[in-house]
Structure 1
């Protein structure tokens, strides 16, 4: 259904009004000499005591190099310090210093003051009308949108039942989409059977995309040696493809490898996985090996892809 011209015009007028209003509400940011991106990093750091650079990149959808410059600026200004993990010396948590917390508290106070000034002249009834209208806009527009990767959160730990469900997803989806037989599901079971006893959160990481309390995507990084890691179990449920979720999971996985100072990460796939291979190549993986096999009821090429890692932080 196309939009009503009068509705479109009303929305455009409201957008211009609200954009100007947001500018007024962000005066305190301009006065602080911080950019909106820098304030976003500051607020996220203020919400967590166990935040890494890789996690910030995923949460804020920010380029790693740009984030690196912000972190260095914060360190130079004495707003942030790095804390080495007790479990893994290659992992560093980013935390606000007392000065950083004071800066954030000041921004919060100014922001609250500006909002108070904005609505202070309104009656209680009018204030409720404003917030009610805001909630209505948000709820109606969110309900009208298809599920997207912004509605999905990434969980980094395994819970009982996760592995069983991942095995099911791999077996079912690969049978439907690639014609793999039961041997493939047996193979997936074997890989998890080998992984779980050796699972070390200090070196390995699961990334599970969760929507409505259900796993809709996955990828994992497994340590092969001190300097080499393997990417495994990359999967996106068909209902959540085409929304950037695969790119998001791959980026988080690669960022984790950099945090752990792995020098290279590799993966094994088959020539039939064309969509996944396209994502791997865009992420920076390059094919380094290939062999022809009769595997899982199919004739295919097993392929290896590698990525050499560089560090900006």
Structure 2
């Protein structure tokens, strides 16, 4: 098990490091008389569209008494105002004045300039990694309790995608199925055969992406006008249980139907029991199996088919 004390030390060290980064990013605030807390409340009033004090206190986790003093300060400076709420006569809705809106715009533009200066020394890939890491930290610590990752899906292959998919297959199947390096070589070969003839008119790649990294994939490869093969179906272990596999499979099968394939098939092994169960639930039937010595294991190579017409 991970050493929780070591993890705590790492988090503390990062916090100390990022305090210095935050000081640099907040340097623009020295040109304004506003405190950091006042700037945050200004931003929340803008984002939440006329909130009352109770809503602001919840959104910012601010003590109600302290929040009242901040609101009074903003009103005194002509940046915010209160008006009776249209939905609750017992409370007041907060608004930004024109001066408050202009001040917030100035602060946001200055903040953006500071961030751009921070990013400038990094190349594009490093910038993407930084943004993905920050998004991951935010999702893990926001405390919504559901732990559901934010996943997007795309159908376009980008430079580096295939290399990463080969890495994902090789590492994952070595750990979970005990496959040797011959399996990774097999995956390399299948992609090498696929890429030269890839055509969106007959083929479909679906990639699940979270925090800037590929966490799942599936593909449909047109074999003939009537027959398609399902390939490279994988979901990273950290992202299982969130419906990603079902979403990928549904997307792939919808493509097959749209292209009017009559049959789609896939090859798997007896070791992939969970995948086999999902295939059966989705309407595939096992049409054959053969005992073989593959990738350092004795296993059954299995074929599953689904008729689409």
TM-score range, shorter chain: 0.5 to 0.7
CA contact (8 A) 2:208 2:216 kept: yes
Match of 2:144 in 1: 144
- Is residue 178 of structure 1 aligned with residue 148 of structure 2? no
Equivalent position SS for 1:144: coil
Q: 1:189 to 1:308 in 2, by over 3 A?
A: same
The answer to whether the 8 A contact 2:287-2:304 is kept is: yes
How many Å apart are 1:118 and its aligned residue? 6.2
Q: Structure 2, unaligned stretches of length 5 or more?
A: 1-85, 97-138
SS of equivalent residue, structure 1 residue 125: strand
1:111-141 CA-to-partner distances (Å, cap 9, x unmatched) read xxxxxx869x974439xxxxxxxxxxxx999
Question: Secondary structure of the residue that 2:95 maps to in structure 1?
Answer: helix
Matched, 1:125 2:124: no
Q: Quote the RMSD (CA, aligned, Å).
A: 2.9
Give, in whole Å, the separation in 1 of the partners of 2:140 and 2:295: 46
- Structure 1 residues 148-179: Cα deviation after superposition (integer angstroms, max 9, x where no partner): 36x21111110000000000000000000000
Contact 1:179–1:298 (CA under 8 A) maintained in structure 2: yes
Separation in 1, partners of 2:92, 2:203:
54
CA distance in 1, matches of 2:140, 2:276: 37
The 5 A counterparts of 1:97-116 are: none
Scaled by the length of structure 1, the TM-score of the pair is: 0.55
Q: 1:250 to 1:140 in 2, by over 3 A?
A: closer
Tell me which residue corresponds to 2:61.
Answer: none
Matches within 5 A, 1:234-249: 234-249=233-248
1:1-313 alignment runs, 5 A limit: 123-125=93-95, 143-145=143-145, 147-148=147-148, 151-310=150-309
Unaligned runs of 5+ in 1: 1-116, 127-138
- The structural deviation recorded for 1:143 is 3.9
Please report the TM-score for the alignment, with normalisation by the length of structure 2: 0.55
Query: How far does the alpha carbon of each residue in 1:10-32 deviate from its partner, in whole angstroms, 9 at most, with x for none?
Result: xxxxxxxxxxxxxxxxxxxxxxx
Match of 1:81 in 2: none
Tell me the CA shift for residue 186 of structure 1: 0.3
- Residue 242 of structure 1 and its aligned partner are, at CA, apart by 1.3
